[in-house]
Amino acid sequence: MKKYILLIAAVWLNACHKPAYTTLDAPWQPDYAVDRSEAAIKAFEQSDSREMPAPGGIVLTGSSSFTKWKSAAQDLAPLPIINRGFGGSTLPEVIHYADRTISKYQPKTVVIYCENDMFGAKKKTPEQVRDAYVELTRKIREKQPDVRIYGVSLKPSPSRWARRQDVIKANQLIQDFIKKDKKHGYIDVWPVMLKDGRPDPAIFVSDSLHMNEEGYRRWTKVLKPILEKTA
């Protein structure tokens, strides 16, 4: 009887910690071609043809904050980093290329950072950003149900500070989704990127959007201990 009760409890707990891939807003259709970064993806494939990363690594996927982190493998060493961020990308594009930039590596861990969705010509709500994030994780889990996923908060950037309430809302909605998945973690980079309540200008390059070495040093300080726990 005791074993039966424990089994029921385990099944219930597992069910409570499975994500529900439901949407919060109307579907959003891109006003751009989702394959516009084909050249960057082919460059990854050419690199793989020369030396294919070993399975079980940590894939960084998303937009230019990962693309421009050229020293990610060194900064996060000895963790087995596979950086597959491609510049200017949005979540629909990352979804489109997920098989070729994520699943093919059979990673143990996937780290997602993608911040461009709300800043294009066509309006996109925080709810629709959250829905796209949810769809990406669903697609990843189709191929690897047990892979560990981390979502990095959309960062506070000086050039996008006027839209900070939308960014904060999108982050909260994504975090609420992540909490329902026991193999999913949320990484908040805001605390190390603010100074006196605003983005610290000392960690950004001249475009006030992308980070310099100091910015990535701070990201390393946040990400590395978390990734080491599940390496």
> What is the domain count for the chain?
1
Tell me the average pLDDT across 177-204: 97
Tell me the average pLDDT across 51-74: 97
Give 194's contacts (C-beta < 8 A, 6+ positions apart).
156, 200
d(CA 156, CA 175): 16
- Let me know if residue 28 belongs to a domain: no
What is the model's pTM?
A: 0.91
- Let me know if residue 23 belongs to a domain: no
- Domain ranges, residue 196: 43-229
- Let me know if residue 15 belongs to a domain: no
- Let me know if residue 18 belongs to a domain: no
- Looking at residue 8, its pLDDT comes to 43
Average pLDDT over the chain, rounded to an integer:
93
CATH at residue 68: 3.40.50.1110
Closest by Cα among 154, 156, 109, 103 to 133 = 154
Give 13's contacts (C-beta < 8 A, 6+ positions apart).
none
- Let me know if residue 170 belongs to a domain: yes
Q: Which helix (H) or strand (E) holds 40?
A: helix 38-50
Tell me the pLDDT tens digit for each residue of 138-181.
Answer: 999 999 999 999 999 999 999 999 999 999 999 999 999 999 99
Residue length, the chain? 231
Percent of the chain with pLDDT over 70: 92
d(CA 219, CA 60): 13
